[in-house]
Amino acid sequence: MVVLGSSSSCCSVAIVGAVLVLVLVLNGADLCNGGKTSTFVRKVEKTVDMPPDSDVFRVPPGYNAPQQVHITQGDHVGKGVIVSWVTPDEPGSSEVLYWSENSEHKQKAKGKVNRYKFYNYTSGYIHHCTINNLMYNTKYYYEVGAGHTVRQFWFITPPEVGPDVPYTFGLIGDLGQSFDSNRTLTHYENNPQKGQTVLFVGDLSYADNYPNHDNVRWDTWGRFVERSVAYQPWIWTAGNHEIDFAPEIGENQPFKPFKNRYHVPYRASNSTAPFWYSIKRASAYIIVLSSYSAYGKYTPQYKWLEQELPKVNRTETPWLIVLMHSPWYNSYNYHYMEGETMRVMYEQWFVTYKVDVVFAGHVHAYERSERVSNIAYNIVNGLCVPVDDQSAPVYITIGDGGNLEGLATNMTEPQPKYSAYREASFGHAIFDIKNRTHAYYNWHRNQDGYAVEADSMWFFNRIWHPVDDSTSV
């Protein structure tokens, strides 16, 4: 027993203190020397939601005109499309008429309609219709609103699934409906690389930031993004702002607005819930996970992912992409380490199956990691910091869509070794698959011209070309 205040104890404390300082310095040396923290300084200004009478929220003219039209993939392999829309005045028809660009023969698909109530709000009539057995790589026109006001849109189906099929994905997260959100979407639409499908990493409308989770803001958001999502699929990931759990106003069912409005093809991959599922698209296998559903051992999500990863045939779909909302590697002082328990559960699998890239949101800024893992640690070996691991994915945080909560500007210092590039700006990204070995990735900040790349890297596929693609010196 050491008696505080004795000369021997003071000496002991001094020695222990010196050792602790040395350990911290050594650990700091290992953690420091990260990549690049951008020197770009965005003008500091408040992020403000667009007012309800903004033109981007305009209700389409005509009696019972379909609005909030959006599409997503409707099956596992890209031959199906889910078409969704809302009619405000009466149910109307749930049919979709569709035809290929080179055909005048219109086909019909029959959908379903539902409504929901949330506190003092009652939704319009929400329609979902799945079109199946489409031809690959074909432009289709489609019409909704039969019987009253008919509106026409189009989409292009992906190429047939295959190992060397090029395809271009857009990346957007945490979008919301602010003036900055509009800049992000406009920037994406005008990007000369022309994304064909958006991988959306969660947090859609931010309606829950309004009193009583004002669901009118779900309607305005749906009309805002229609200009993109009615013409190309957005692949949905549920974020924390989709939970809408509000027992204080009697709303005890999580995800109610999201589940009613945004359908996904989860049953096609044997998932038991719409929050985790998978699809194939061109040469990519995309796995969507839920940061806000149970993911511990033996939970439905855990058991599904355990069975799903061995199914991925990298000869057919070389690129393995994972979407989630809460990032596992994040060097901002916002939501710091919130994804840690999920990382502990699943990171070993990501390394074992050589996931190429993980996209997340949640932190309202941008960050790209090197290929690292933190799976070596056990209770006695002390290996508790991330290390370079060429079997690990690159982790990209892209929660920078522009929502009213504003930017995450406070970063942890020093920049961790695993962090390759970080910047507190709003923007979007492009993941452009060239073939089975190479993909080109670039991130665009809203303040730049449409073709300017603020960050970029060549991805080398972990199975077909597993060479070091790190970018930090």
14 vs 11: CA distance, rounded Å: 5
Q: CB 85: neighbour CB atoms within 10 A?
A: 29
Q: CB 20: neighbour CB atoms within 10 A?
A: 10
Instruction: Select from 131, 186, 155, 153 the least CA-distant residue to 66.
Output: 153
168: phi then psi, degrees, rounded to nearest 5: -120, 120
> First CA to last CA across the chain, in angstroms?
49
The string over 165-202, giving b where at least 16 C-beta atoms fall within 10 Å of a residue's C-beta and e elsewhere, is: bebbbbbbbbbbbbbbbbbbbebbeebebebbbbbbbb
Which residue bears the tokens 């035809």? 99
390 vs 355: CA distance, rounded Å: 10
- Tens digit of each residue's pLDDT, the chain (473 residues): 333 333 334 344 343 344 333 333 334 434 456 788 988 877 767 889 999 999 999 999 999 999 999 999 999 999 999 999 999 999 999 999 999 999 989 999 999 999 999 999 999 999 999 999 999 999 999 999 999 999 999 999 999 999 999 999 999 999 999 999 999 999 999 999 999 999 999 999 999 999 999 999 999 999 999 999 999 999 999 999 999 999 999 999 999 999 999 999 999 999 999 999 999 999 999 999 999 999 999 999 999 999 999 999 999 999 999 999 999 999 999 999 999 999 999 999 999 999 999 999 999 999 999 999 999 988 899 898 999 999 999 999 999 999 999 999 999 999 999 999 999 999 999 999 999 999 999 999 999 999 999 999 999 999 999 999 999 76
178: phi then psi, degrees, rounded to nearest 5: -90, 175
* Mode of pairing for the β-strands spanning 455-460 and 234-235: unpaired
Q: What is the pLDDT of residues 240-286, one digit of tens each?
A: 999 999 999 999 999 999 999 999 999 999 999 999 999 999 999 99
So what's the pLDDT on residue 430?
98
pTM, rounded to two decimals: 0.92
Q: What is the pLDDT of residues 332-358, one digit of tens each?
A: 999 999 999 999 999 999 999 999 999
What angle, rounded to 10 degrees, do the helices at 179-190 and 216-229 form?
20
Q: CB 266: neighbour CB atoms within 10 A?
A: 18
Residues annotated as catalytic are 335
Triad 361, 264, 250: Cα angle to 5°: 75
285 vs 184: CA distance, rounded Å: 26
87 vs 68: CA distance, rounded Å: 9
Triad 118, 119, 124: Cα angle to 5°: 40
